[in-house]
A and B are shown apart, each in its own frame.
Chain A
Amino acid sequence: MIRRFKLVFGALAILLPVMASSPAFAVNPDEMLSNPVLEERAREISKELRCLVCQNQSIDDSDAELARDLRVLVRERLIAGDDNEEVIDYIVARYGDYVLLNPPLKPETYILWASPVVLVLLAMLAVFAFYRRKKRDGSTASASLSKDEQARLDELLGTSKDIGKSE
């Protein structure tokens, strides 16, 4: 009984946007599934998918017509018994990787995904080199001081320098 109700509801949910001519609204009540678990999963999936005609908004956030169609499609697949991955694959198969807000790992996006790691490593190297150079230049940095001043400075700094080295 419940299953039949769901099916009817799902069919309605697909048909309604076709009938409705006015612009839709982010997640209308008539799209929502009666099963809260499925609905929750639908929302989760929707957050990963891009509204194709908006600027980086997920279909969950968008009130564009196309986003609504996608939301309905997601719910339709869920009712058909797909798991989350299958639903996303289904949509990607039809709309391409462009719908995924999180770009998939593939040869074209290797650089994109590698870049943060590479940047972090480079930054760490640079910072390390910076401190190394600083330590090495520590004595030469004060070259503008005269010899007497340098001697006096060393005398004054003698203790603190030792502490720095012992760390």
Chain B
Amino acid sequence: MLAELGHFALLLMVVTGIGQAVLFSPLWLRSSLRMFSPQKAPATPVGSPDFPDDDRDGHADGAFAPIVAKPANLFLLPIAILLLGLLAEGALLNAFIVSDFTLPVVTDVSHSSTPLLYRIGAAFTPDGGAILLWLVALSLVNLLLAVQLRKSASLDADRFARNALSILGMLIAVLGVVTLIDADPFLRVTVVPLDGRGMNPQNQDLLKVLREPFLYLGLAGLAGIFALTLAALLDNRIDRQFAETMRSWTIASWVCLGTAIAINAYRSYSEQAWGGWWYWNTSENSLLLPWLLATALLHCRAVLEKTETLRSWTAFLGITTLAVGWFGVYLTRSDLFAPLPETQILPIDSNGLLIGFCVVFAAAYYLFWRSVDQMGEGRCFEVISRESAMFLNSVMLALIAAVVLIGTIYPLVLQWITGEPITVGAPFYVEVLVPIVLPLMFLMAFAPALRWRQDELWMIGRRMKLAAILSLITVLFVSIRFIDLSPAPLIGIGLAGWILTASLSDLWARLWRHPEHGESKYRNLQLLGPRYVSMTLAHIGLAVLIAGGSASSIWEEQVVVSARAGQSIQAGPYNLQYEGVSLLAGENYATRQATFILYRHSQPVTELFPEIRYYPIRGVETREADIWHGRDGDLHVSIGDRDDDGGRVVTVHYLPMMPWVWGGMLLMLIGGCFSILTRVILRLKKPGVSTS
């Protein structure tokens, strides 16, 4: 019964979404405009961007007053949509929690023996569940956007808010229709199976469960940006105020997508036996693409806010980021990329998602194309300036995204045209991306130290002197110490040192030479503002990540042995003593758990328990490595099968500086969160004050 209620809620959500799209749309405003002031010209078609600027203020007072008089209007529909979305999601979650096998989605990915947490997590894995989660996140964004735009004292701000909400309503309606047509999660079957087919054991992990909400929140945030961009395009006001409105959304989606990526990377690191964390496969690429463009947008937006330049580029990125995110969802949801036909488990039809994508973005790009000519650029900036650095940075990020996109879809297109399968794997991406990434990293260090509008080369040289010297010293030290090092990781380490020292020296200079340099360093830190601090944190995080990645790839040690109980294995500074394997019962799996005692310089540090789990429902084995994050590196232990001579195959990886990779990712995310949190706190403290 509850499922039918959820189904109905989903249906109503589509209706309300359409209602919001229509009621808030320019069409409605125009027609009501005609009603209230008959002397005006007949309505222009929906989506037409030509609202003349001067015209806006002219008729606003008289014509719009009757409609905008009730500000509660703005909240009513978003609240209704959110409640309906929560109801639908609740109904679906309930079906998974009580294991209602009359729903085929539950049967496909759940089982009565699956633990509660993973039954909830399983609700997000099928197509319908995933898009429903996206819908709920979208309706949350919808409401938040309404709250953010509520303080629209002026009338064109009000129209802007209505346009944005109308577009979001349309997106909700489209995605709702896609869910209902493509992968309706609330359909029932009459012949009820006795039990489900069980959750994919690879997904049975707390981190994997957490990844989905972050991913879809991030995508919903991108949808918010998309709606704001289109609304601004409609009014032809891609300006400072627009950039300010977009700020929290950009950072929030950037953080959410980044969290999803970090979780994904850590998950494959701890799941697999070989300590790798990025494979350039479709699902990873489809996460990376929107994140890269969100990063580009983050930088352009700052330029737009500061100088009102790069209007069309920012608007383009605002649309494309969602396009790429949506396309990524389509790629991972469709079965186009299953490696070979026999490994496909459930062939899924997700054409609706593709058709929705085409319709939405055809309209969006048409609108962009129509209004791009009317966009004047603001004040100009010189080639050597901070704007310029940030602009080039966003161009390079977009280039990287384009290359990754081509690499991802090329095999598909080729197979479609010629029927010949090819593989585009890690070596391709590394070869092609390194020449783009290296200059990007090199430039990245300059940006914070550059001045806005215009700067001089020799002055930059003076500012970057210390960083250049220190990073050169690092490279020299490393290359002398490890004489037979290949140049690639050395460049990585050098660049990491370059970014790190440049960020720190800029911070140091600002702490001491701030114009309002006062009593204490703490005071100066406050004067720097949360933006600068979060930017520095994120840049340092990236430097740390690069350093860790390069170092762990060079000095990685791998030991594969066939071990017997009591045997000790040497890896780096660590010594592992193998104690044997015991058979244990997990909640819905049986596990062979090995026990290792970890010694560092013959001092016992900890015990490690890598496992091989057997999930009887799907008849699948998974391997869970156990990892020790030490001061000088990660020790990654996993076990394999019994050898023929009675030993146990044990793989030990010692990855020096690997914690830097995780720490770096964390720092970047903390940087983003810091920026949002300070803004929220300042808002709460002093309503109406914007941080900068």
Contact = CB atoms under 8 A, between A and B. Distances in A.
A162 B297 CA distance: 33
Nearest to A98: B421
Nearest to B639: A25
B279 A56 contact: yes
B560 A27 contact: yes
Interface string B611-646: 000000000010100000000000000001101100
Given A52-B339, A116-B432, A141 B377 contact: yes
A164 interface: yes
Contact of A63 (B273, B337, B340, B562): B273
A160 B406 CA distance: 44
A55 B343 CA distance: 11
Interface string B326-362: 0000000000010110110000000000000000000
Contacts of A20: 641, 644
Interface in A2-56: 16, 20, 22-30, 32, 47-48, 50, 52-56
B562 A50 contact: no
B423 interface: yes
B560 A28 contact: yes
Contacts of B340: 52-53
A37 to B, nearest CB: 16
Contact of A58 (B343, B392, B426): B426
Given A28-B560, A30-B643, A134-B380, A109 B422 contact: yes
A56 B406 contact: no
B274 A23 contact: no
A101 B432 CA distance: 13
A99 B423 contact: yes
A25 B651 contact: yes
Contacts of A56: 279-282, 423, 425-426
Contacts of A96: 420-421
B562 A29 contact: yes
B560 A101 contact: no
A146 interface: no
A84 B242 CA distance: 57
Given A24-B641, A123-B395, A127-B395, A102 B436 contact: no
B407 interface: yes
Contacts of A112: 406-407, 410, 414, 424, 428
A53 B396 CA distance: 34
B4 interface: no
Given A28-B560, A29-B643, A30-B562, A115 B274 contact: no
Nearest to A134: B380
A111 B410 contact: yes
Contacts of B561: 29
B403 A119 contact: yes
A99 B340 CA distance: 12
Interface in B373-428: 376-384, 391-392, 395-396, 398-399, 402-403, 406-407, 410, 414, 418, 420-428
B426 A119 contact: no
B649 interface: yes
A98 B341 CA distance: 14
A130 B378 CA distance: 13
Contact of B381 (A54, A134, A163): A134
B484 interface: no
Contacts of A135: 380
Given A108-B418, A134-B380, A29 B649 contact: yes
Interface in B514-528: none
Contacts of A100: 422-423, 425
A60 interface: yes
Nearest to A124: B395
Contacts of A142: 379
29 contacts: A24-B641, A25-B623, A25-B649, A28-B640, A29-B561, A29-B562, A29-B649, A47-B427, A50-B423, A55-B339, A57-B279, A61-B279, A98-B421, A98-B422, A100-B422, A100-B425, A111-B410, A112-B407, A115-B403, A116-B432, A119-B402, A120-B399, A123-B399, A137-B377, A141-B376, A141-B377, A141-B379, A141-B380, A167-B384
Nearest 4 Cβ contacts at the A-B interface: A101-B425, A25-B640, A102-B427, A55-B281
Interface of A: 16, 20, 22-30, 32, 47-48, 50, 52-58, 60-61, 63, 96-103, 108-109, 111-112, 115-116, 119-120, 123, 126-127, 130-131, 134-135, 137-138, 141-142, 160, 163-164, 167
Interface of B: 272-274, 276, 279-283, 337, 339-340, 342-343, 376-384, 391-392, 395-396, 398-399, 402-403, 406-407, 410, 414, 418, 420-428, 431-432, 435-436, 454, 456-457, 560-562, 621, 623, 640-641, 643-644, 649, 651
